[in-house]
Structures are given as C-alpha cells and as structure tokens.
Amino acid sequence: MSESIVTLKKGEGRTIKAGGAWIYDNEIDTIMGHFKNGDVVEIHDFDGYKMGRGFINQNSKIRIRMLTRNPEQEITEDFLRMRVKNAWEYRKTVMHEGDLNCCRVIFGEADWLSGLVVDKYADVLVVECLALGMDRFKEKIVSLLKDILLQDGIKIRGVYERSDAPVRKKEGLEPHKGFIGDEFDTDVEISENGIKYTVDVVNGQKTGFFLDQKYNRLAMQQIVAGLVGGSGALGTKRNPERNIKVLDCFTHMGTFALNMGLAGAADVTGLDISEFAVSQATKNAEINGLSDRVKFRAANVLDELPKLYDEGEQYDILVLDPPAFTKSREATKNAIKGYREINMKGLKLVKDGGYFATCSCSHFMTQELFTEVIGQAAKAVHKRLRQIEFRTQGPDHPILWASDESYYLKFYIFQVCEEK
C-alpha cells in the first residue's frame, strides 16, 4: 500500500464526497510520506476518515485524481482489468449492437479512469491521455482492452495515441502523438447511422472524429425523413416533391449534412473554415453516393451567415455545431456573447415553420445558461421557438454526476416560427 497520506482541510472535499473525481490543490491540508508525482496516494478527510486512493501530481491544480473509494484497494493489473471490462460491458448494454463499430470505450472520470479516453473506430483504438498518473497505466490498459475485445471476437489491428492537447502541459507533460505498438494504415473506414466515413486518426480533430453526436445526427436524419414523407436510411419511399434545403454550419467531416442528405434532403450545404475538413467531408459524400445533393465549401461561418441572409437565402433546416467558445470559467462572459451572436445569425436564415438545431460543447456553458442565451437570441430576431427535443452526448459518453466536466454537450432541436 502507499506510504503517503493526503489529508484534506476541514470543510473541503465536497466534490468527491458527492461522487466526483478531483481534489484541487487548495483543498489539501497536509501530505505525509514520500512520493513522486504520478504515484498513488491515500486520501483522508480532516478527521482521519479514509476516503479512497488516487494519483497525485503537484504540477497540476487538480492535485488528486481519484481511482477508487476503497482505501484498501491495491491498484493492480486485476483492478485495471475490472475497470476496463466494466467500461466495455456498459457500452454493450446501452448501445445498439451496430453502433459498437465506432464508439467511446473509456470516458475518463465517468469510467473511473481519470484522464484517459479511448475511442474505437472499427478495428482501431485511439488513445488520449491527459493526466500524469494515468500516463503510467495507459499501455497496460490498452493491452487489457485488446484482450477483452478479442473475447467478443473483435481483433484490434492497431492503436494510435492522440495525446497532443496543450492541456497536458498543466500536468507537466508534453503533447504527444504516435503509434502504441506496430504501425498501421491510419485511414480507418467506419459506419454510423447507415453512413460510411473515412477517419484520419492522425490528423483529424481530437481523436479523429466526433462520436458524441451520433444519436443527435440520427435525430436530424429522422426529422428530414419526416419532412419528405419517408424514413431515410430505413429505405421507405421518399416524397420527391419536397425539396428540402439544409445548411450545416461547422460541418467538420460533413456528419450532420450527410445524415440529412441520406434521409432525402435535396439541397444540403456544409460550411467549415478548415479546408482539410471540407476535403474530408467531400470524400465522405462521394463514398456514400450523395455528391449530387450534399456539397461542402470552406467559409468562416460567422462571416458567411450574414452574407447568406443579405442574399435572401432561407433554409428549411439549419444546424449549428460550433467548437467550444470557452474552455475556462473566466472566458464564459465572452462565450455568452459568441453563442448569442451565432444563434441570432442562424435563426434569421430559417424559414417560417423550419427547423433549427443548436448546440454547445463546453461544460462551462451550463444547460441553464445556454437555454437563456438561445432565448435572448430568438427574442432579438423576433423568432418564436417551439422546442422539439433537448438532447446531450451519447450514452457511450456517460455523465457522472458531481463530475461537471463529464457533462459538456447540450443539443436543442426547435421549430422556428415568426412572431405574428
């Protein structure tokens, strides 16, 4: 067992007592014993009550990342195997079988493996490790995960690490990317919601693809299918007389656009500032035989939306899926202005009776705050919103209560009406 004991100040540790995973530097009273950053230590409350074990890092304001609530639990290979197996069994339970082709297998704190993300793209794993202590365990965890997947007949042909986020520097780690094990072809074919994609796990954003919007994309596919009188990917006869016009903003790899094109939208445009993203999206449209109805072009969305409005463009469906406008609590005030502005510009382009999807992927933009901002935007441009759904990230990205960072994606679908 660890010979180092971390004792909290009186009245601190409220987050972990509620079920969270982090202890900050200003919550700690004393540290007894010898340790190196990244070692596993025992955590005590101010009165000596044993609270569990986690790894320590004095480079980070997140001083302790909890691994177990059992203070007697050794962090062994068997312990790690249990954590990894539980994570995979959970995905098998909450996801449709076909959706396991591509999904998040390990989601950090929400799977009690703080700082570690593992995404599965067909027969490839992509690893992101953002914590010093977990960095020591990552290769063992990958090996255990490959063995567990093989028991279900899934053979992993390669593993790539995308720990290249600048936030690693806050842990005293340098950004890193590269193969874990043998090299392999890193262009990976996946299938999601009936659509095929080529994912570049080396150069794509984050781990190569945004898996968290899987079922939100399907929800938009179903709305288009309803508008055209069919069921999209289910193959029901479409109504060719409904010429549905769609704008997908911040399209990345064309995901929302392709889902709506597959469902029968006749005129779909995807916008993204990245030329690389546009080229990938265009290839994905070709792969799926949708190039005739789904087009992409590079543009700064904030500048392009007013131009489209001035040109008299109007859309049956508009989707806003912007990058996080804030990655810190201090920047939230400016982010509010950004979200209000982009939603105002988007809403002005939606036809009366049309549909509008908008989201935020920042956990600092709470559901309550995001809701308020959308309401302000609608009021400013004299639109009435009829809420259809509020959604969040897919179940392979579970939300751990008391761990606020695990709840980040907020996704609204509205029907837009003129004020009359």
User: If you average pLDDT over residues 3-19, what whole number do you get?
Assistant: 92
Question: What is d(CA 7, CA 4) in angstroms, rounded to the nearest whole number?
Answer: 10
Amino acid at 162: R
- Determine the topology of domain 77-200 in CATH: Transcription Regulator spoIIAA (3.30.750)
Summary count for the chain: helices (H), strands (E): 10, 20
Residue 140 confidence (pLDDT): 97
Look at the pTM and tell me if it is higher than 0.85: yes
The predicted-structure confidence for 115-153, as pLDDT tens digits, reads as follows: 999 999 999 999 999 999 999 999 999 999 999 999 999
Residue 339 confidence (pLDDT): 93
Residue 2 confidence (pLDDT): 52
User: Quick one: CATH architecture of 5-68?
Assistant: Roll (2.30)
Cα dist from 367 to 73, 404, 411, whole Å:
36, 12, 9
Neighbouring C-alpha atoms within 13 Å toward the C-beta of 102: 25
For residue 154, name the pLDDT band (cuts at 50, 70, 90). Answer: very high
pLDDT at 372 over 80: yes
User: Where does the chain hold its CATH 3.30.750.80 domain(s)?
Assistant: 77-200
Residue 330 confidence (pLDDT): 67
The predicted-structure confidence for 200-227, as pLDDT tens digits, reads as follows: 999 887 888 999 999 999 999 999 999 9
Q: 211-418 falls under which CATH superfamily?
A: Vaccinia Virus protein VP39 (3.40.50.150)
User: Where does the chain hold its CATH 2.30.130.10 domain(s)?
Assistant: 5-68
Mean pLDDT of the chain: 93
Tokens (6 digits) for 329: 């609590």
Residue 232 confidence (pLDDT): 47
Q: 60 with 170: CB under 8 angstroms?
A: yes
Question: What is d(CA 175, CA 179) in angstroms, rounded to the nearest whole number?
Answer: 14
